[in-house]
Amino acid sequence: MLLRWRSQAKRSQLQKKNVYYSYTESFYGPDIASAYYILSLKGGFRYVGQSEWFRANQRGKFSWDFLNHKNTPIEEADMSYTIINYTGLENLERQRSLRTLKLKGCPEVDDWFLARLHLFQDSLEELDISHCPRITTGGLAALRNLKGLKHLNVSSLPGISNPGLVIILLEEMLPQCQITANGYDHNLRKVEEEEEEQMQRQR
């Protein structure tokens, strides 16, 4: 029972953080609401036309200067190592000029999240989903909707089983995109070792 409580508490905290910020949106507009969401999850972003990045520090504190730029859409968002998930992505739904999205090491980003990225299919040019433990091959198939993608980083994804094959298929699916995939062991020796293990087990 204690274990169940603990897991339920964790889940409800995740849901609370990723709730839709409709209150903020009704007062300040959708862009400020998205900006506030990114900052409260300890991420960072950059507005269109500005070169300054707004970030929250380790403790979650951030400056309120971003309020000065009303009605400016967001161009780049860095949500690496945050707990953004499928429901949280609703807060960024209105950002149709988002060009870069960094989701390195996010524990809650899974295949359904990738499928929802079709919202940014016209504008997104750079996507970084390396080190996300929940992504599998099925989710990578959903990236075919992102026609404008130029840079894709799929390094060190523990969830995909045949990284070499998957990268080849991705390159075929997105011909204009440059794919970075480091951190995989493409050694053929591993396959031979697995075959030997299987034979031993059969004996």
Partner 1 sequence: MWRRLQVKVGPARGLITSTQVTRRSTLGFCGSDLETHMEAMRKKAMDALPGSSWTPLEINPNLPPERADIVIVGGGVVGWSIYSQASTVLSGGGIRQQFSLPENIHLSLASADFLRNINEHLGVLNEDPIDLQFNQSGYLFLASEAVAHIMEENYSTQRYAGAKVSLLSPTQLKEKFPWVNTEGVVLASYGLENEGWFDPWSLLNAFKRKAISMGAIQCCGEVTGSCWSTATATYGHLQSCQCCQVQMPNSLEYQPVECAIVVNAAGAFSGKLTEMLGIGFGPKQSIAGIPLPFLNLNYAAEPDVSNLEVDHSFFQENVWPHLAFRVPAFEKLKVTSAWAGFYDYNTFDQNAIIGTHPLINNMYFATGFSGHGLQHSPAVGRAVAELILDGNYKTLDLSGFSFNRILTQEPKLETNIV
114 is a site residue for partner 1 (CB under 8 A): yes
48 is a site residue for partner 1 (CB under 8 A): no
7 is a site residue for partner 1 (CB under 8 A): yes
- Please state the closest distance from residue 91 (CB atom) to partner 1, in A: 17
Degrees (nearest 5) of the Cα angle 60, 62, 63?
A: 165
54, 46 in Cβ contact below 8 A? yes
Stretch 147-186: interaction string toward partner 1, x if CB under 8 A: x---------------------------------------
- Residue reference for tokens 């504190």: 61
146, 124 in Cβ contact below 8 A? yes
DSSP codes joined into one string, 24-55: HHHHH-HHHHHHHHHHHTT-EEEETT--PEEE
Nearest CA to 153 out of 102, 77, 108 is that of 102
Closer to partner 1 at the Cβ: 145 or 156?
145
d(CA 172, CA 117): 20
d(CA 91, CA 19): 8
Contact with partner 1 (CB under 8 A) among 112, 148, 156, 184:
112
> At residue 134, what are phi and psi to the nearest 5 degrees?
-95, -5
Contact with partner 1 (CB under 8 A) among 40, 72, 97, 136:
136
Stretch that binds partner 1, among 43-51, 93-101, 131-139, 150-158 (CB under 8 A): 131-139
4 is a site residue for partner 1 (CB under 8 A): yes
94 is a site residue for partner 1 (CB under 8 A): no
- Please state the closest distance from residue 168 (CB atom) to partner 1, in A: 16
Stretch 8-27: interaction string toward partner 1, x if CB under 8 A: ---x----------------
116 is a site residue for partner 1 (CB under 8 A): yes
Tokens of 76: 């780049």
Strand partners, 74: 47
- Please state the closest distance from residue 189 (CB atom) to partner 1, in A: 27
Tokens of 194: 């697995």
142 is a site residue for partner 1 (CB under 8 A): yes
